[in-house]
């Protein structure tokens, strides 16, 4: 049985089995075509296609995505309307990119209810993770500077 599961790697004939995906065919060592959506079930099947459950997730993800999409738009409008240079402009841009990716992921959660494109969903999540980590790492050194700047601002009288 074990021998039936082992296949030779075309690029490495002396190897017993390939690991990971075949970059040309998009197939794993087991021969499954991971990019063929017919090999996966849509996520709605996990909800047993119950309309109230699918609908609740669609409405929630859509509302969250719309809110996430409005934030980068607000940041862009804010940055463009200022008539002077703003310190840490790049931080606003980083937050906008990170939040935009969050919104895209919620749209993708709606799509995979019906279309099982889980590898595309995974790629988008990896891009969101990269933007999130980059934003967090780049913001850490700014913390002392921001605290210093905001503690020197005089509070407005009520």
Does this model's pTM top 0.85? My answer is no
- What average pLDDT does this structure show over 135-140? 93
Higher pLDDT, 22 or 104: 104
pLDDT at 74 > cutoff 70: yes
| pLDDT value at residue 37 | 77
Q: What are phi and psi of 33, to 5 degrees?
A: -85, 100
User: Of 151, 122, 116, 100, which Cα lies nearest the Cα of 40?
Assistant: 116
Q: Give the model's confidence band at 4: pLDDT under 50 very low, under 70 low, under 90 confident, else very high.
A: very low
| pLDDT value at residue 2 | 39
| pLDDT value at residue 29 | 60
Higher pLDDT, 6 or 124: 124
Exposed e or buried b per residue across 16-26, where buried means at least 16 C-beta atoms within 10 angstroms of its C-beta: eebeebbeeee
């Amino acid at each position: 049985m074990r021998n039936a599961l082992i296949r030779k790697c075309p690029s490495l004939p002396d190897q017993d089995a390939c690991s990971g995906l075949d970059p040309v065919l998009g197939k794993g060592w087991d021969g499954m075509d991971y990019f063929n959506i017919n090999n996966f079930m849509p996520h709605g099947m996990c909800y047993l296609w119950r309309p109230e459950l699918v609908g609740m997730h669609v409405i929630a993800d859509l509302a969250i995505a719309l809110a996430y999409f409005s934030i980068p738009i607000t940041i862009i409008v804010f940055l463009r309307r200022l008539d002077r240079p703003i310190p840490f402009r790049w931080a606003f841009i980083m937050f906008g990119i990170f939040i935009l990716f969050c919104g895209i992921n919620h749209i993708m959660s709606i799509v995979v209810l019906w279309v099982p494109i889980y590898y595309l969903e995974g790629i988008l999540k990896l891009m969101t993770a990269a933007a999130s980590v980059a934003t967090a790492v780049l913001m850490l050194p700014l913390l002392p500077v921001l605290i210093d700047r905001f503690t020197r601002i005089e509070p407005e009288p009520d």
